């Protein structure tokens, strides 16, 4: 399969409609269709590739599409005997011993900071040229569960910005309005899922990089507890800031993927307390009446939220009260996380840049960041980590009187594409502040936090809120997000197909 367009005429339109129904069905449904023999993995992958060929030229969601490899992988999935379709013969959650895992035959995309065997890990730039020889641990687990890797998605260089734009790979656009950004840094992954090019995609979150694009594109995106998903072969992702996780259309799809991804690996610097139950199974138990505090106050001073985002927050408050929760406005005294965040940001970018093959090909703005990062010694990075732990303890005290915190997900509406065009370091930082104003604190403290769709604004772009939970309580966040999804479903709403 190449990037040929869907053939014209009624037959072509019927094919396109059928492909859309498959790709917007989500991961759980796709896996069920393959498991029950209603569709083959190859047919599912072909549907994904046709949509990528037709729609991605207008979006730029993918840095590379692995068409031949994905089709070969799909054929291998289909070769697994139908008598194994119930999972017999393999370990639960794996595709071993000839059994079918929970993601068997499902195409999934991967952000370009994560290693996929045989592919260059570009980190959004041009400074790496040599393909890696092995999958990272998260991708290995996806494959072990039966997933097919469909391609690698676009990101800004080293994931530094909440806009998915790079000198090497161009701009990524929002499927809801291609003049707008999908956010970042996992914007390619978000655009791919929102446009129905893949059922789910892996992202990474070092300051909001899962939640911000989820908010911009109308998806569910949970930043898990620090150490929940392995960063191997690297001991960390931006030290204590970064986590790996999926962007999905539904809460259940997210839980399904976390059942596959969760768990530390040897060499991980951080590990989370193991969940006491399977994540999907946990959604079967209602959360009960919870104390939920809400606030429109950003954690970053000097930022004012757009009125549409405050309105979405208040609408969600009403929905949660109707669901029986005790929801009250709170006035959190957010700790200043600037120093520990900047120290680890500088350390993380410096560490990733030190590993590239052609540093002279780094973007000018990245080289400016590195000139400042070199002034931050490793001892200062370690002090930033320790300071973040102290801030986490302070944040924990907020949860003594509430079970969850509800805020807007982002402060500003998605900017027009080109936010980084000609922008120096200072300008890029100023333009980024409204996007990270509610998210970055929880990377410093490590608490789980999710972007939850909350309708659409007058501009036609999605709205979202953020749910923040106690440390190690992703399940609590997921349960309430699932309640909101049931009360006001969002997954059936789709963007119009973009045009080149």
Catalytic residues: 111, 185, 209
Instruction: Tell me how long the chain is.
Output: 500
Query: Residue 417: phi, psi to the nearest 5?
Result: -60, 155
Residues 193, 199: Cα–Cα separation, whole Å: 6
- Give the pair of three-digit tokens for residue 386: 């320790």
Q: What is the 3-state secondary structure (H, E, C) of the chain?
A: CCCCCCCCHHHHHHHHHHHHHHHCCCHHHHHHHHHCCCCCHHHHHHHHHHHHHHHHHHHCCEEEECHHHHHHHHHHHHCCCHHHCCCCCCCCCCCHHHCCCCCCCCEEEEECCCCCCCCCCCCCCCCCCCCCCCCCHHHHHHHHCCCEEEEEECCCHHHCCCCCEECCCEECCECCECCECCCCCCHHHHHHHHCCCCCEEEEEECCCCCHHHHHHHCCEEEECCCCCECCCCCCCCCCCCCEEEEEECCHHHHHHHHHHHEECCCCCCCCCCCCCCCHHHHCCCCCCCCEEEECCCCCCCCCCCCHHHHHHHHHHHHHHHHCCCEEEECCCCCCCCHHHHHHHHHHHHHHHHHCCCCHHHCCHHHHHHHHHHCCCCHHHHHHHHHHHHHHHHHHHHHCCCCCEEEEECCCCCCCECCCCCCCCHHHHHHHHHHHHCCCHHHHHHCCCEEEEEEEECCCCCEEEEEEEECCCCHHHHHHHHHHHHHHCCCCCCCCCCCCC
Q: Are 470 and 397 in contact (CB under 8 A)?
A: no
Q: Dihedral, CA atoms, 422, 127, 223, 308, nearest 10 degrees?
A: 20
Cβ-contact 213, 186 below 8 angstroms: yes
In 10 A of CB 39, how many CB atoms?
16
User: Phi and psi at residue 356, in whole multiples of 5°?
Assistant: -80, 160
**Cα distance between residue 438 and residue 299, in whole Å:** 6
Distance CA 386, CA 392 (A): 10
């Amino acid at each position: 399969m190449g990037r040929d367009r869907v053939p014209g005429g009624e037959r072509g339109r019927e094919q396109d409609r059928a492909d859309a129904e498959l790709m917007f069905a989500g991961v759980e449904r796709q896996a069920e269709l393959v498991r029950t023999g209603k569709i083959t993995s190859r047919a599912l992958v072909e549907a994904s590739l046709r949509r990528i060929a037709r729609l991605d030229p207008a979006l730029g969601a993918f840095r590379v599409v692995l068409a031949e490899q994905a089709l070969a992988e799909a054929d291998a999935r289909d070769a697994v005997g139908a008598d194994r379709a119930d999972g017999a013969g393999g370990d639960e959650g794996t595709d071993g011993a000839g059994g079918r895992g929970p993601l068997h035959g499902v195409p999934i995309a991967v952000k370009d900071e994560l290693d996929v065997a045989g592919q260059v890990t570009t980190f959004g730039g041009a400074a790496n040229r040599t393909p890696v020889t092995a999958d990272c641990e998260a991708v290995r687990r996806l494959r072990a569960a039966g997933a097919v890797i469909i391609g690698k998605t676009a990101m800004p260089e080293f994931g530094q910005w909440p806009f998915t734009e790079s000198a090497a790979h161009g701009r990524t656009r929002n499927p809801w309005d291609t003049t707008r950004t999908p956010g970042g840094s996992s914007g390619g992954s978000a655009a791919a899922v929102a446009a129905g090019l893949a059922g789910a995609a892996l992202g990474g979150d070092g300051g909001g990089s899962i939640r911000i694009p989820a908010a911009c594109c109308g998806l569910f995106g949970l930043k898990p507890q620090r150490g929940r998903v392995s960063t191997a072969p690297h001991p960390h992702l931006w030290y204590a800031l970064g986590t790996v996780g999926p962007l999905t259309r539904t809460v259940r799809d997210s839980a399904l993927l976390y059942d596959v991804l969760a768990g530390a690996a040897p060499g991980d610097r951080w590990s989370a307390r193991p969940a006491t139950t399977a994540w999907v199974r946990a959604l079967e138990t209602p959360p009960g009446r919870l104390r939920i505090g809400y606030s429109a106050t950003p954690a970053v001073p000097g930022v004012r939220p757009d009125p549409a985002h405050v309105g979405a927050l208040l609408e969600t408050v009403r929905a949660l009260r109707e669901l029986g929760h005790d929801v009250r406005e709170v006035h959190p005294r957010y700790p200043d996380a600037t120093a520990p965040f900047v120290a680890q940001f500088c350390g993380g970018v410096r560490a990733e840049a030190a590993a590239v093959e052609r540093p002279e090909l780094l973007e000018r703005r990245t080289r400016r960041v590195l000139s400042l990062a070199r002034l931050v010694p490793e001892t200062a990075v370690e002090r930033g980590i320790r300071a973040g732990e102290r801030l986490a303890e302070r944040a924990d005290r907020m949860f003594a009187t509430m079970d969850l915190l509800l805020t807007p997900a982002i402060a500003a509406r998605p900017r027009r594409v080109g936010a980084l065009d000609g922008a120096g370091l200072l300008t890029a930082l100023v333009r980024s502040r409204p996007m990270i104003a509610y998210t970055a604190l929880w990377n410093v403290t490590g608490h789980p936090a999710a972007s939850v769709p909350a309708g659409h604004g007058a501009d036609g772009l999605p709205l979202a809120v953020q749910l923040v939970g106690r440390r190690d309580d992703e399940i609590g966040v997921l349960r309430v997000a699932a309640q909101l999804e049931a009360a006001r479903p969002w997954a059936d709403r789709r963007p119009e197909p973009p045009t080149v």
